[in-house]
Amino acid sequence: MSTLTALSFAAEDSATMLGRELKHSVRLLRLLIVSAILVPVVMLLLFDYILGRTIGHGLGSAARGAPYVDFLVPGILILTVAGSCGPTAINVTLDMTGGFVDRIRTMAVTRGSLLAGHVGGSVLRTLVATTAITGVALLVGFRPKASVAGWLAVVGIVAAFSFALAWLSAAIGLVSKSVAGANGSTLPLQFLLPFLSSTFVPVDSMPAGVRWFAANQPFTAVVDSLRALLTGTPAGNTPYVALAWCAAIALVAYLWAQASFRRT
Amino acid sequence: MNAITDQATRAAVSVTGLRKAYGEKVVLEGVDLTIREGEIFALLGPNGAGKTTIVRILSTLIPADAGTATIMGYDVRGEAGAVRAVIGVTGQFSAVDDLLTGEENLLLIGRLLHLPATVRRERAFELLERFDLVDAARQTPATFSGGMKRRLDLAMTLMGRPRLIFLDEPTTGLDPRSRQTMWQIIRELVREGVTILLTTQYLDEADRLADRIAVLDHGHIVAEGTPEELKRRMPGAHIRLRFTDAASLAEAARELPESTRDDEQLVLRMPYERGIRSLRDMVARLGDDVAVEDLSIHTPDLDDVFFAVTGNVPKEETR
């Protein structure tokens, strides 16, 4: 087989797997709306209406005079991206523990197309969910001041972060022996790391021990760059730091996933 | 044409010295097999004998530790791509996609085989008809019976028109009717020229379907041949007498010294020669006082073969 045919088969197989993944998403639409959209929306409303006034007062100069919701929305978007880790890992584990992966392994299907389909599906689902959540945020008073280029950069960073976390989740799904294990292993990504970052409050307000970690971990770089872009304040080099994190996570997770896929 | 080459080219599967161990646990200890094109070959053995391991090695899923295996002349290790193009695998665990409808499952496989759109629609339609799945075409397997799921699974395997099909315990867990349907399907496939490697732990399944059987036990092939050849290896038929109490057993054993005695089951086994005369003679020798509870004539079946060659009691059929 020539390299060109191999490449076109790889593209075709990945597209087939992506199509399968999207069909799955449509079949599980109600479940997905709840987990990927409603949960983040409830978090948005809780933090904004219930906790927002107190947190807003405490923000001081970090809010730059804007209401807490403007500070909060970038964090909620990243929480949404992180929330997709569970379902992505679970989907991969389901394929691995069922007979599907053995079937395609005994066929001349391009290696890696299955994971590519999962990752692609995860990114697309996340983009739909974050768009819907941005719409709700606008309804409850979110007033972004981003330029068109700023919006494009926001979409790019959300997609890149989603891509990186999707590969990481796929790798976790590959090494997990059960669905419960797959979900459990992604919980630090879904909850712990977002809270230990500038998702809800600025890292300066955190205790000294946590502060260093929070200031230097990828979630903070991603949230800070989204926040700067959306509020139209100077972002400095944070977007580049964020993209570098995304690239590094995606690369390491990709290699981990490929190695685990070969081993199993 | 040279007879040896002729035979070699007609081998669908050729395996020599296959070994596999998982850590300390040796699963296959040097397996040799030849499966001719167009036959149903059954690998018969209890759970853990190594049947699935052989299927996984031959279907390119896992490498062997030692030995060689070729499928249609292609080496499973070095020419895995060519092997995959000629085989189809229906494994022990259902490989249908539960979120896709019956038809979508078939079309998905068609896409992964890079079949043109019209071909995959045609084949999907044919297979749905043939396997009585037309009603299931637009439903997801969640609503399917076990037999329907297994049929869809096999239909997916057939989308690629494989020349060699591995059926790993194709009827395990099926009800008797679904089992009959599956047997019928398997026979039809072979009539169309497909070669089948079947694994099973059910002796009657191997007996009814297979042209040749290899009995696998603890990673060794302990017997091989046609069902008839295997049965011929067994001692002749016998009459089995079961008694109500030990006293009757003891008395009957005195009267019939050529019989073998099983005290635990209160059973005597008498060699049986064809014809009613030997039976009448035996009954006359027993006399009126011996309480025989049950009498049966036992001709050797694969259970006996299995018992004789493995020393294992075969799995009781509970269906």
- The list of chain A residues with pLDDT below 50 reads none
For B89, the closest of A9, A16, A103 (CB atoms) is A103
User: What is the signed CA dihedral for B235, B241, B243, B249, rounded to 10 degrees?
Assistant: -60
- CB nearest to B108's CB, from A20, A98, A99: A20
Residue A1, pLDDT score: 59
Q: Give pLDDT tens digits along chain B (319 positions).
A: 444 444 444 799 999 999 999 988 999 999 999 999 999 999 998 888 899 999 999 999 999 999 999 999 999 999 999 999 999 999 777 789 999 999 999 999 999 999 999 999 999 999 999 999 998 899 999 889 888 999 999 999 999 999 999 999 988 888 888 899 999 999 999 999 999 999 998 888 998 999 999 999 889 898 899 988 887 776 677 888 898 888 888 888 888 888 888 888 888 888 877 678 878 888 888 877 788 888 888 777 777 777 777 765 444 443 3
Separation between Cα atoms, residue B187 and residue B209, nearest integer Å: 7
Closest CB from A28, A100, A105 relative to B97: A100
CA distance A32 to B189: 42
CA distances from A61 to A194, A211, A219, A235, B306 (A): 22, 18, 21, 16, 83
- Whole-structure pTM value: 0.83
List, for residues A8-49, the tens digit of each pLDDT value: 999 999 999 999 999 999 999 999 999 999 999 999 999 998
Among all chains, which residue has been given the structure tokens 């978090």? Answer: A43
Residue A109 is given by DSSP the state P
Residues 123..152 of B with a Cβ closer than 8 Å to A: which? Answer: 140
Residues of B in contact with A9 (CB under 8 A): 114
Q: Where are the alpha helices (DSSP H) in chain A?
A: 3-27, 29-32, 39-45, 52-59, 68-83, 85-97, 100-105, 113-139, 148-175, 179-187, 193-195, 208-216, 218-231, 238-263
Counted domains in chain A = 1
CB proximity B108 to A under 8 Å: yes
A93's tokens: 């584990």
Q: Could you confirm whether domain B3-232 is CATH 3.30.428.10?
A: no
Distance from CA of A114 to the nearest CA of B (A): 11
CA B26-B31-B33 angle, to 5 degrees, is 155
Does the structure's ipTM exceed the value 0.90?
A: no
Question: Would you list the domain boundaries of chain B?
Answer: 3-232, 238-299
State how far the Cα of B151 lies from the Cα of B217, in Å rounded to an integer.
Answer: 29
Query: Measured between alpha carbons, how far is A5 from B180 in angstroms, rounded to an integer?
Result: 43
Rounded CA separation A129/A139 (Å): 16
Nearest-CA distance B83 → chain A (Å): 9
Q: Which domain holds residue A226?
A: 3-263
Q: Which residues contact A254 (CB under 8 A, 6 or more apart)?
A: A167, A171
Residue-wise pLDDT for B53-69, tens only, equals: 999 999 999 999 999 99
- A150 and A225 in contact (C-beta within 8 Å)? no
Cβ neighbours around A224 below 10 Å, total:
22
How high is the pLDDT of residue B76? 94
Q: Which residues contact B182 (CB under 8 A, 6 or more apart)?
A: B147, B150, B151, B154, B170, B171, B174
